[in-house]
């Protein structure tokens, strides 16, 4: 269960976010959509501990979130692999506190999960974009986080790879990660993956819509209920009049 209360982030005089309150926990995947520049990435960076909160509090399962923690993992828009380190060392980066054997075991398991075990000794430059992003996902999953943050994880991929990754993400992540927060500007992506979607507008970022998505998974992008939800979100963002014109 993650909750944020009266969250505010300002950069000097510019308020990027908030006050913003929400909580989620019963839903597996919470999608956060909104136009670019609305402050949704700021939200993710606050939860990840990459930016200091100006005001407000966050809690994960009752523990206050005040900085980077091992049970909150991030997948960035770009793979962000360390180019000098092998795939194995990249995935094991956050497990420095574990003894070698345990680390190896966890890394191997994570690599099998993203189907890249055979590339454990490869360097990032030898990987395709989709493979590199899977290494990024393995690096986030390796410590079995309680909350997984995805920051437009497939935006840098080509359209075909993107659809494939969207379809496989939930298989890869599985139920081991109780909560996933997906930031995206791709409404279809949010609809394919999320159990609930909050629509942000801003800056400063604020919640303008909170929608439960009760469609069975895997979801068909072309189905009528799917398209109805898509229209609902688009109307929220742009207004019905603009869409008609």
Partner 1 sequence: MSDQAIAIDKRSGQFNGALLERLRRLGIALILPASIIAAWHLTAVSGRVPAYLLPQPLEVLNWLVRLVSTGELQRHLSTSIARAGIGFALGVSAATVLGVLTGYLLGWRRVVDPTIHALRTIPGLAWSPMFILWFGIGESSKYALIALVTFFPVYLNTMAGVAGVDRKLIEVGRVNRLSGLRMMTRILLPASLPSYFVGLRQSMGIAWIVLVAAELMGASSGIGFLLLDGQMTGRPALVMACMIIFALCGKITDIAISTIARHVLAWQDTLHTGE
Of the residues 25, 35, 80, 164, which one makes contact with partner 1 according to CB under 8 A: 80
Asked if residue 163 binds partner 1 (CB under 8 A), the reply is: no
In degrees to the nearest 10, what's the CA dihedral of 131, 144, 57, 206? 40
CA distance 94 to 29: 23
151: nearest Cα among 31, 60, 1, 2? 31
Q: Which stretch binds partner 1 (CB under 8 A): 27-35, 90-98, 202-210, 220-228?
A: 90-98
Q: Minimum Å distance from CB 8 to partner 1?
A: 22
6 Cβ contact partners less than 8 Å away, ≥ 6 residues apart:
18, 19, 20, 21, 55, 56, 57
Of the residues 7, 65, 73, 110, which one makes contact with partner 1 according to CB under 8 A: 73
30: nearest Cα among 207, 181, 244, 203? 181
Q: Minimum Å distance from CB 19 to partner 1?
A: 25
CA distance 152 to 80: 13
Query: Other CB atoms closer than 10 Å to residue 126's CB: what's the count?
Result: 12
Evaluated on CA atoms 130, 168, 91, 145, the torsion sign reads: positive
> Which residue has tokens 């908030």?
18
Asked if residue 96 binds partner 1 (CB under 8 A), the reply is: yes
Of the residues 27, 59, 78, 108, which one makes contact with partner 1 according to CB under 8 A: 78
- Span 104-133, contacts to partner 1 by CB under 8 A: 123-125
Size of the site for partner 1 (CB under 8 A): 23
Asked if residue 93 binds partner 1 (CB under 8 A), the reply is: yes
Q: Minimum Å distance from CB 85 to partner 1?
A: 8
Of the residues 19, 25, 56, 94, which one makes contact with partner 1 according to CB under 8 A: 94
Q: Which stretch binds partner 1 (CB under 8 A): 30-38, 46-54, 103-111, 172-180?
A: 46-54
**Which residues of this chain interact with partner 1, rule CB under 8 A?**
48-50, 68-70, 72-74, 76, 78, 80, 82-85, 93-94, 96, 123-125, 139
């Amino acid at each position: 269960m993650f909750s944020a209360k009266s969250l505010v982030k300002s950069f000097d005089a510019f308020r990027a976010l908030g006050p913003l309150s929400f909580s989620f926990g019963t839903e597996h995947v919470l999608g956060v959509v909104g136009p670019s520049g609305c402050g949704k990435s700021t939200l993710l960076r606050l939860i990840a501990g990459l930016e200091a909160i100006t005001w407000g509090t966050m809690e994960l399962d009752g523990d206050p979130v005040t900085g980077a923690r091992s049970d909150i993992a991030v997948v960035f828009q770009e793979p962000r692999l360390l180019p000098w380190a092998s795939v194995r060392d990249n995935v094991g980066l956050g497990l420095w506190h574990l003894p070698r054997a345990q680390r190896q075991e966890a890394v191997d398991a994570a690599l099998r999960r993203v189907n890249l075990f055979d590339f454990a000794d490869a360097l990032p430059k030898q990987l395709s974009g989709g493979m590199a992003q899977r290494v990024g996902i393995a690096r986030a999953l390796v410590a079995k986080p309680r909350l997984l943050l995805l920051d437009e994880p497939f935006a840098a991929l080509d359209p075909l790879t993107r659809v494939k990754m969207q379809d496989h993400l939930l298989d890869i992540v599985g139920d081991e990660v109780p909560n996933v927060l997906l930031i995206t500007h791709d409404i279809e992506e949010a609809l394919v993956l999320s159990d609930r979607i909050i629509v942000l507008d801003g800056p400063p970022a604020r919640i303008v819509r909170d929608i439960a998505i009760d469609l069975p998974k895997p979801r068909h992008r072309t189905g009528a209920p799917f398209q109805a939800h898509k229209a609902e979100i688009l109307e929220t963002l742009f207004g019905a009049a603009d869409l008609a014109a």
